[in-house]
Amino acid sequence: MTMITRGRVRAFLAIALICAPPGMASAGEREVVRAKFEPPDGKTMVLIGCDWSDGFKQYKHLTGDTPAGGVFWYEFNGDTDFFWHNARGVVGENGVLHVNFNLVSNTGGSLKPYLEGKKDAEIKKIGEAFKAWGHPLLVTIGTECDFPGNKGYTSQQFIAVYRKIRKMWEGLGVMNVAYVVHFIGNAGNPRWTSYYPGDDLVDWVAFSFYWFDKDLPHVREIARIARKHRKPVMIAESGPLNGEARSWEDWHGPFLKHASSLGVKAICYNNWREPPVDRAFHNSAFDRLPRPVAEAWGRAMEAPSFLHASPALYATLGAQAQAVARPADGPEMDEAGGEMISVRRVSLSLSQEGDCLLSVDTRGEVPPIDDPQGKPATIAGLPNAKVTLEEDGTHRVVYSFGDVATTADFAGLNGSLMPIDGLSIDKTAGTLLLTPILVGKGPVKKSSFSFPRYQKAPLSATIDFEKFDNYTVFLTLKFAEGLLQVRVSPRHPGWEQDGSRLGATFTPIVNKRAGKESVMLEGRLEPEKLAEYAFHVPADPSILGQRSELNVH
């Protein structure tokens, strides 16, 4: 069986709005010196952010607007894949990307690893990626740096880390970054001004803006002080809370009016669909809002004050894109500069005792699977499969779309009966394409393949790929009381933002509720190699003796 699979990808996008600050003199009265990548007076950048892989596409489809770029949240973990995905795959070479770095977790943390040099290698690697990209970047060092919950560091420590990171990147010759300081945007920390790194280190001043009545007095003060320091103002985070945007006047209309009155020059809108942390923002994605709201937003973006991604955008911002570095020779490289990995075969075997063997083959020439040695057999309900009874008493079941001109047995494809939406099937070429496509005007569906009959251990499953060099494939065995899942990812942009490319987990199911997940395997793939991994499933043999359902998605 041959298939091409593309899984769904988490990508963060954002919106930036720009209006001239009140009372600013015109160019005819005096010369105006703009900050780095600051739009001209009376112009507004539009960036869309914090969503999954199709969020950018859905935003354009629903609003008719082409934003100037996107925003995503990042960490100093040494993995640049997620950055390259957002830079190339989401924003592109005519847009602006706002990279918002979390220095600590949402529950707080210490900055000592940065101050003691333990993060230097990660900082350098990301800086080199920024330099290689060469296009304009707005970079926040420390999301909501004055957040009251960040008890693990002082304002002096934050400024020291901010300065260190900027100076390290400047030492690498990174010239395409405008540096942003981002405040929480409410009066939760009365000492917020103590977190300001200094005019020599800051290009933009930003704040979060969600609650108008509660936040407005404080963000006005931030904007006033920013203008006093001659810094452009950005709304770094924004979006309606759950249930607050039933109509245009509930949130989006007043929001744009407030943004204009504050004189901001960039607005980042959280196009949030399934946020990983705070469910309060569940309905801020435009495809989750009433359609008239999205259409009204699109009409508002048609105003000449808003900038959009275009070949002329960089010149408008006073920026000049540099050539993107590419390797000149050597092995085939991906767009992030790493050696290309292409998975050709994945095999998983499970014994009745819970012993697993995972085999992943990334060699260009994969040996063919041995022909069945057993006697021809049949399994009720599987007329289109080649079934043999092997010497060990197990049945071997093989499906090939090259030999079988029907998908009737695969009623579980994408969770629905034929016809199958969101899938493209080529039966004659022997290829099953699990490629998510847009179905009507709705969101992209996650494509999946389900083996149509339950099986018991011992069992094994082998999948051959014609081409699999990006995204992630999941192979899942679902028991009544547990879930065994293997993921293989030759280059998934930002899998949990840790760069992992291979893993296996088991999750017990008790009373139809998922229990604590056990991680049995975590690692990286290597090119041109047959790698085998043995591990044991931490489950009672009685659970693994149950019938299981095989799914691939």
- Mean pLDDT estimate for the chain: 75
Q: What is the arithmetic mean of pLDDT over 194-219?
A: 92
Q: Which residue has the higher pLDDT, 304 or 387?
A: 304
For residue range 449-496, list pLDDT tens digits in order. Answer: 555 556 777 777 777 766 666 667 778 888 888 888 888 877 654 433
What pLDDT score was predicted for residue 276? 46
Between CA 283 and CA 289, with CA 288 as vertex, the angle to 5 degrees is 85
Q: Is the dihedral of CA 273, 277, 280, 284 positive or negative?
A: negative
Written as one letter, the residue type at 201 is: L
Q: Which residue has the higher pLDDT, 103 or 52?
A: 103
What pLDDT score was predicted for residue 331? 40
Burial of 94 (0-12, 13-18, 19+ CB in 10 A): middle
- Identify the DSSP state of 413: G
Q: What is the arithmetic mean of pLDDT over 251-263?
A: 93
Spatial distance between the Cα atoms of 366 and 167, rounded to a whole number of angstroms: 48
Q: What is the arithmetic mean of pLDDT over 327-348?
A: 57
Burial of 521 (0-12, 13-18, 19+ CB in 10 A): middle
- pLDDT greater than 90 at residue 179: yes
Least confidently predicted of 231-240, 346-355, 435-444, 501-510: 435-444
CB atoms within 10 A of CB 483: 20
Beta strands (DSSP E) in 431-481 are 431-434, 449-450, 459-464, 471-479
Tokens of 313: 């955008």
Cα–chain center distance at 256: 27
74 has which bridge partners?
Answer: 101
What pLDDT score was predicted for residue 249? 93
For residue range 28-72, list pLDDT tens digits in order. Answer: 334 457 899 999 999 989 899 865 456 777 788 889 888 999 998
For residue range 277-335, list pLDDT tens digits in order. Answer: 455 555 688 888 889 999 999 999 999 999 999 888 998 998 765 544 433 333 444 44
Burial of 95 (0-12, 13-18, 19+ CB in 10 A): buried
Spatial distance between the Cα atoms of 158 and 165, rounded to a whole number of angstroms: 11
Q: What is the arithmetic mean of pLDDT over 272-276?
A: 59
Burial of 405 (0-12, 13-18, 19+ CB in 10 A): exposed
